[in-house]
C-alpha cells in the first residue's frame, strides 16, 4: 500500500523544505514464512516548524516508522531524507554523528542521569559534543519548560512531570532540526502529561521547533498540528488541527 500526504502549512511562517521526507519506505523483519512487513512503502513529509503526531492501532508500525525516520533502525527499501541529508545508506559512524548533532529524542522513560542536577542533565549532550552553551537560548528553553527553580535538583527530587520536562529541555537545548518523541507522556498522570504536551506545543509555536511524536493517546495527539494514521504498515489517513474527538473517531474507524 502506498500513500502520499503532502505536509500542511505549519502554524508559523511557511517554509518550503520539509524537515523529514520518507519515500516508499519499507521494513521487513525476519524472512520467508516468518517475514513481518512492518512498513509497506510509506511516503510522507513532515513540515518544518510543525508538530506532527503518528497514530494507529497497536502493531500498525508506529515505532518502526519513527525508528526508521530517526536513523535508529535501517530500512528494507526506500529513502529517508533529513533536511538536505539522506540518512538511509549512511554507515553507523556517520549516522551516530548525524543523530547526535541534528536530532533530539524524548522517550517514555526519562533517561536522566541520577547523580547530575537538572541543569547538568540538560547541558550534558552539548558538553559531550564539545559545543558551547548559548545562554540566551538555554534561558528561553528553561522558561518555556518552567524549570527555573528546579535547576539545582537531582532527578530523585523531581516529580515525573518535572523529570520529563528536564528530558525535553535536554532535547531542545542543542537546537536539533527535529525532535522525535516516543510516547512522551506514557509514564505521566494526565495533569503532568498536559503540561509536557503544552510546552512541546509551545516549543513549536514560539520557538519554531519541529516535533514528530508517536502516541496511542488521542488527547496527546490533539496537541499536534497534524495527525497521520498508520494501519498495517501504511499511512491511511490524516487530520489537520485535530481534537481528541476527531482523533478518537478516526482511530475507531481504523480499528474496525
Which positions lie near ligand ADP, rule CB under 6 A? 29-30, 36, 38, 56, 58-64
For residues 16 and 62, what is the distance between their CA atoms, to the nearest angstrom? 26
**Eight-class DSSP state of 256:** -
Task: CB nearer to ligand ADP: give 26 or 174.
Answer: 26
Among 203, 22, 161, 181, smallest CA distance to 104 is for: 181
**Eight-class DSSP state of 30:** S
**Eight-class DSSP state of 50:** -
Q: CB of residue 145 vs ligand ADP: minimum separation in angstroms?
A: 27
Non-local CB neighbours of 211 within 8 Å, separated by 6+ positions? 50, 51, 52, 178, 179, 180, 181, 200, 203, 204, 224
Task: CB nearer to ligand ADP: give 126 or 254.
Answer: 254
Q: CB of residue 29 vs ligand ADP: minimum separation in angstroms?
A: 3
Task: CB nearer to ligand ADP: give 28 or 194.
Answer: 28
Q: CB of residue 106 vs ligand ADP: minimum separation in angstroms?
A: 16
Task: CB nearer to ligand ADP: give 72 or 124.
Answer: 72
Task: CB nearer to ligand ADP: give 61 or 155.
Answer: 61
Q: CB of residue 27 vs ligand ADP: minimum separation in angstroms?
A: 8
- Please, are residues 80 and 22 in contact by the beta-carbon 8 Å criterion? yes
State how far the alpha carbon of 54 is from the alpha carbons of 100, 126, 180, 216, 251, in Å. 23, 28, 11, 8, 11
Q: CB of residue 57 vs ligand ADP: minimum separation in angstroms?
A: 7
Cell of 86: 539522506
Amino acid at each position: 500500500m502506498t500513500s502520499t500526504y503532502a505536509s500542511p502549512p505549519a502554524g508559523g511562517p511557511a517554509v518550503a523544505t520539509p524537515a523529514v521526507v520518507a519515500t516508499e519506505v519499507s521494513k521487513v523483519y525476519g524472512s520467508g514464512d516468518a517475514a513481518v512487513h512492518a512498513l509497506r512503502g510509506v511516503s510522507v513529509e513532515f513540515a518544518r516548524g510543525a508538530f506532527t503526531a503518528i497514530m494507529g492501532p497497536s502493531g500498525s508500525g508506529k515505532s518502526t516508522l519513527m525508528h526508521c525516520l530517526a536513523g535508529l533502525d535501517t530500512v528494507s527499501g526506500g529513502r529517508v531524507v533529513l533536511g538536505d541529508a539522506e540518512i538511509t545508506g549512511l554507515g553507523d559512524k556517520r549516522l551516530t554523528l548525524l543523530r547526535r548533532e541534528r536530532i533530539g529524542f524524548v522517550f517514555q522513560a526519562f533517561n536522566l542521569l541520577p547523580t547530575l542536577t537538572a541543569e547538568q542533565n540538560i547541558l550534558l549532550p552539548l558538553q559531550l559534543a564539545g559545543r558551547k552553551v548559548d545562554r540566551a537560548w538555554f534561558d528561553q528553553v528553561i522558561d518555556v519548560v518552567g524549570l527555573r527553580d528546579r535547576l539545582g535538583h537531582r532527578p530523585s527530587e523531581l516529580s515525573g512531570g518535572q523529570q520529563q520536562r528536564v528530558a525535553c529541555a535536554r532535547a531542545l537545548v542543542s537546537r536539533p532540526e527535529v525532535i522525535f518523541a516516543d510516547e512522551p507522556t506514557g509514564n505521566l498522570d494526565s495533569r503532568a502529561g498536559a503540561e509536557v504536551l503544552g510546552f512541546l506545543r509551545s516549543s513549536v509555536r514560539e520557538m519554531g521547533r519541529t516535533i514528530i511524536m508517536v502516541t496511542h493517546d488521542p488527547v496527546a495527539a490533539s496537541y499536534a498540528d497534524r495527525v497521520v494514521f498508520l494501519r498495517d504498515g501504511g499511512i491511511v489517513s490524516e487530520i489537520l488541527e485535530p481534537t481528541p474527538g476527531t482523533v478518537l473517531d478516526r482511530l475507531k474507524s481504523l480499528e474496525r
